Amino acid sequence: MALRKILVEGDPALNKRARPVSRFNDKLRVLVDDMLETMYDGDGVGLAAPQVGVLRRIFVMDLDDGEGPRVFINPRILETDGDQEGPEGCLSLPGLFGIVKRPMTVRVQAFDTEGQSFELEAEGLAARCICHENDHLDGILFRRHSQIPLCALDELPGMEEPAEEEADTEGVTL
């Protein structure tokens, strides 16, 4: 495994639509392992392949919820329900946060690294992360969805210093 450079806003690759994965091989598995290592090193909970300069429809996430890391290859959001509004950040926009409205629940179909199809229904933070990372695959940064100008986390409206037990979910960097 190796750390990859995370592209930051301004890099044209972040504005391009990623292409589907067609080969499920060792090269793909190495990329996924590298993406996970890079995500953990950046203290993120999600990372899309375009963020490391690979224009393929892949993202990874690990919400530290006991489920372990999840890999989504060629994902398709099949259904959404409800709304949630909350803070978002991004490894490609370091130190910047916004308030973004996302679905409360999503149902997604994707493939794993072996090429096996699966469906997953996610809610709350998992749904937010799936939507955020899936946007990266279409060349969309969360700035486009933010209801306020991006700012530092402590400058977000209503974001006082969270109590220590709340600190896990406030201002998550996706």
Residues carrying an active site annotation: 133
Letter string b/e over residues 147-168, b meaning 16 or more CB atoms within 10 A of that residue's CB: eeebbeeeebeebeeeeeeeee
- According to DSSP, the β-strands at 58-61 and 70-81 are antiparallel
Half-sphere exposure of 2 (CA within 13 A, CB side): 6
